[in-house]
Amino acid sequence: MLFNNKFSIVGLFVLVLSFSMNSCKSKGDSEPIETETAIPPFENEEFVTFYNTFSSDSIFQMEHITFPLEGTRPQEDSTDVVPDDFRWTQDNWKLHRPFDDGNKTFVRQFENGPGNIIIEYIADKSGQYSMERRFAKLSAGWHLIYYRKMGKY
Q: Are residues 19 and 47 in the same domain?
A: no
Q: Model's pTM, two decimal places?
A: 0.72
How much is the pLDDT for 80?
A: 95
How much is the pLDDT for 38?
A: 66
Burial class (CB in 10 A: 0-12, 13-18, 19+), 147: buried
Q: Are residues 141 and 79 in the same domain?
A: yes
Q: Are residues 7 and 65 in the same domain?
A: no
Count structural domains, the chain. Answer: 2
Q: Are residues 76 and 25 in the same domain?
A: no
How much is the pLDDT for 39?
A: 72
Q: What is the CATH number of the domain that holds 126?
A: 3.10.450.410
Instruction: Tell me which residue of 99, 100, 153, 103 sits closest to 128, measured CA to CA.
Output: 153
> Which residues span the domain enclosing 24?
1-33
Q: Are residues 19 and 50 in the same domain?
A: no
Q: Are residues 17 and 54 in the same domain?
A: no
Q: Are residues 56 and 123 in the same domain?
A: yes
The Cα–Cα gap between 124 and 89 comes to 26
Low-confidence ranges of the chain (pLDDT < 70): 1-38
Q: What is the pLDDT of residues 83-100, one digit of tens each?
A: 999 999 999 999 999 999
Q: What is the pLDDT of residues 120-145, one digit of tens each?
A: 999 999 999 999 999 999 999 999 99
